[in-house]
Structure 1
Amino acid sequence: MAPSGSRSVKRSCQRVLYWIPVLFICLIVAWSYYAYVAMLCIESIENIGEKIVYLLVYHVFFIMFVWAYWQTVFTKPMTPLKEFHLSYSDKELLEREDRGESQQEILRRIAKDLPIYTRTMSGAIRFCDHCQLVKPDRCHHCSVCDKCILKMDHHCPWVNNCVGFSNYKFFMLFLAYSLLYCLFITATDLQYFIKFWTNGLPDTQAKFHIMFLFFAASMFSVSLASLFAYHCWLVCKNRSTLEAFRAPAFRHGTDKSGFSLGLSKNFRQVFGDEKRYWLLPVFSSLGDGCSFPTCLVNQDPEQPSSPSGHNPSVKSGGEIHPFPAKPLRESQSRLLNSGQSWSESEGTMDREKEGTSNLAMTIENET
């Protein structure tokens, strides 16, 4: 009982420590509100019209920033659906088998009817031994959250949460509004910062707040601008941070652009189809987080159909990469053209059986 109790205390302490970065952000934002509203606008700005305009615009950015941050922090990460979890009988069967080809055969049977196209680097089925589930595409296990997260991007200590399918839009808006918030403070505080710095205004209690507010806002602007630009690039390429560092592996090999459908469709996967929700921290992303359309299974309209009725997918350069048949979900049919389909080639199954002995058929746990 003692070791179990000590582990429980340790986990509780860790959970408290994880909130320290969030508390730090909250304290900085609360102080910036006081410094800008009370010290700058109310005490230092004498022009009534300028004061009103500054306060109105400031509060718009402040409200949107706090709203987006709240949603990013308190939106629970989504985990795989029940269909990806192993049944009790499958778990027993998997445990009885030796780790190797026999286990991969079981996992391939389970994953046969699931919308899964990614594999491990050795070509094995992606399986989480801890959560006992077949990993959906773009799903990874987070060691901090201790569970598998759909379309996991990264675990962010500044929000004490995993950034993934359920809150990636909120995270993007949090970066955008926090950047606008800092840029607005920097721009409007600059002239008063210069006046205090050159002793153009008398020394008051507001001097320290206004000068330090300018330094803090400008420094945060630089770091936020680089981070926001990077994630904008990821959205345009339809990649997560993990996929940018390690490309997802498909049957034909790794491909960083495997999930890219073009700029417009990539953007709508995160922000949705309805433009009225794009700038609001409300969930509007397309899909369920478990299955994603991929450019590697789009049917080439110029490619003739095979006699058996199967349509192999064609990648740029004329190389044919067949994929197994999988159900096309609503989120995918909304993004893919009407002529695109998920297809299976009989030749693929034969080649897979012949090459089974050459693969390192092991269950690989990915982070």
Structure 2
Amino acid sequence: EFPSGNSDLDDYSNRCCQRSLAWIPVIFINLVVGWSYYAYVVELCIFTIPNNAEKISYLVVFHLFFIMFIWSYWKTICSRPASPSKEFCLAKVEKEQYEKEQPDAQQDILKKAAVGLPVYTRTGTGAVRYCDHCQVIKPDRCHHCSTCDMCVLKMDHHCPWVNNCVGFSNYKFFVLFLAYSMLYCVFIAATVLQYFIKFWTNQLPDTHAKFHVLFLFFVAAMFFISILSLFSYHLWLVGKNRTTIEAFRAPVFRNGPDKNGFSLGFSRNVVEVFGDQKKYWMFPIYTRCTCSPQNLFTCLIFKGKS
């Protein structure tokens, strides 16, 4: 519904402006990738490389990495963040009562409502985690994202480069996006290097391809170095079954904080992200593990904790 009144109109305009500006990093990435495609395929492979066998082999491998990179990138962007199901919402009567009570009484209401729910984590003070904005009891590993304006299951972080929250619904896609973008960059840098040297030392004629080849190497190398550190960090998180939020602040359980509270062992931690079927691990498609839906939000059941 279109807002009425000056203040509502101003708020609406600000939100629209913020949402539009949020796409700038995504547009920037797509422009860089679009230019890199042109520079590699046209300027390098078509205009610079003389050997047809080398040219064809480079193009085949390049397009393989390019397709997987674009596929995983847009899956990360387009996957809507998963939010808590209706079981975690207070009933109408409970909600009305909650809004009238003092904090201590509110916690009693939340504790009763949380009975039977797979909720094992607490706030730092030991209270049931509740989002006043979304009006839901937060499942384990769920956090409210102020940018997306919603509670996100297994929230890792909000990534401006994909203009989306990275969490339960797209974390696999995000890790694959990092992996394929890194492979894309290192392949470009490795195959461009010899022609970079030839242009730099004037072994090749000074054509319009020179700028593209020289700049392509620098950009690919720069992005590879920056992505490598981020990819390595997230591989470590996958192996530990932690999110970025949990790595900075250990989750608090009923018996206190435990940074390894969700870890099931390395192999099972990997399955939690990539699914049981290894043949689908390298593809940005949704794969589920054999856990029950509740265990997808909290892995404590596997460890027998309560």
TM-score (norm 2): 0.96
Task: Give runs of aligned pairs for residues 234-313 of structure 1, distance below 5 A.
Answer: 234-286=237-289, 288=293, 291-294=297-300, 298-299=303-304, 313=305
Give matches, 1:178-217, under 5 Å.
178-217=181-220
Per-residue Cα deviation, 1:242-295 (whole angstroms, up to 9, x for no partner): 000000001111111000000000000000001111000001143547632227
For 1:75-114, list aligned pairs within 5 A: 75-99=79-103, 101-114=104-117
Specify which of 128, 132, 135 is matched with residue 131 of structure 2.
128
Among all aligned residue pairs of Structure 1 and Structure 2, give the percentage whose two residues are the same amino acid.
Answer: 61
Structure number with larger C-alpha Rg: 1
Alpha-carbon distance in structure 2 between the residues aligned to 1:92 and 1:130: 15
Aligned counterpart, 1:221: 224
The change in CA–CA distance for 1:285 and 1:226 in structure 2 (over 3 A counts) is farther
Q: Larger helix proportion, structure 1 or 2?
A: 2
Query: Match of 2:154, as an amino acid?
Result: K
- Spell out, residue by residue over 1:205-253, the C-alpha distance to the aligned partner (whole angstroms, 9 max, x if none): 0000000000000000000000000000000000000000000001111
Q: Deviation of residue 298 (structure 1)?
A: 2.6
Answering whether residue 58 of structure 2 is matched by residue 25 of structure 1, we say: no
In structure 1, distance between residues paired with 2:256 and 2:288: 28
Q: CA deviation digits over 1:106-160, x for unaligned, max 9?
A: 1000001100000001100000000001000000000000110000000000000
Q: Hey, what's the Cα distance between the residues in 2 that align with 1:22 and 1:7?
A: 24
- Listed one character per residue, the Cα deviations across residues 59-114 of structure 1 (whole Å, up to 9, x for unaligned) are 00000000000100011000000000111111111012112x21111100000110
Matched, 1:43 2:27: no
Residue type at the aligned position of 2:261: G
- The question of whether the paired residues in 1 share the 8 Å contact of 2:185 and 2:224 is answered with yes
In structure 1, stretches of 5+ residues that fail to align are 300-312, 314-322, 324-367
Aligned-pair CA distance for 1:24? 0.1
- Aligned counterpart, 2:140: 137
AA at the equivalent of 1:63: I
What is the CA–CA distance in structure 1 between the aligned matches of 2:94 and 2:207, rounded to whole Å? 72
CA contact (8 A) 1:169 1:285 kept: no
Task: Give the Cα–Cα distance (whole angstroms) in 2 for the partners of residues 172 and 105 of structure 1.
Answer: 40
- RMSD of aligned residue pairs (Cα, Å): 1.1
| 1:117 equivalent among 95, 99, 120 | 120
**In structure 2, the residue corresponding to 1:267 is in which secondary structure?**
helix
In the alignment, which residue of structure 2 is the partner of 1:349?
none
The equivalent of 1:57 in structure 2 is 61
Partner residue, 1:157: 160
- From 169, 189, 201, the equivalent of 1:166 is 169
The aligned amino acid for 1:85 is: C
Question: TM-score scaled to structure 1, two decimals?
Answer: 0.80
Q: What count of residue pairs does the alignment treat as equivalent?
A: 299
Q: Secondary structure at the match of 1:166?
A: coil
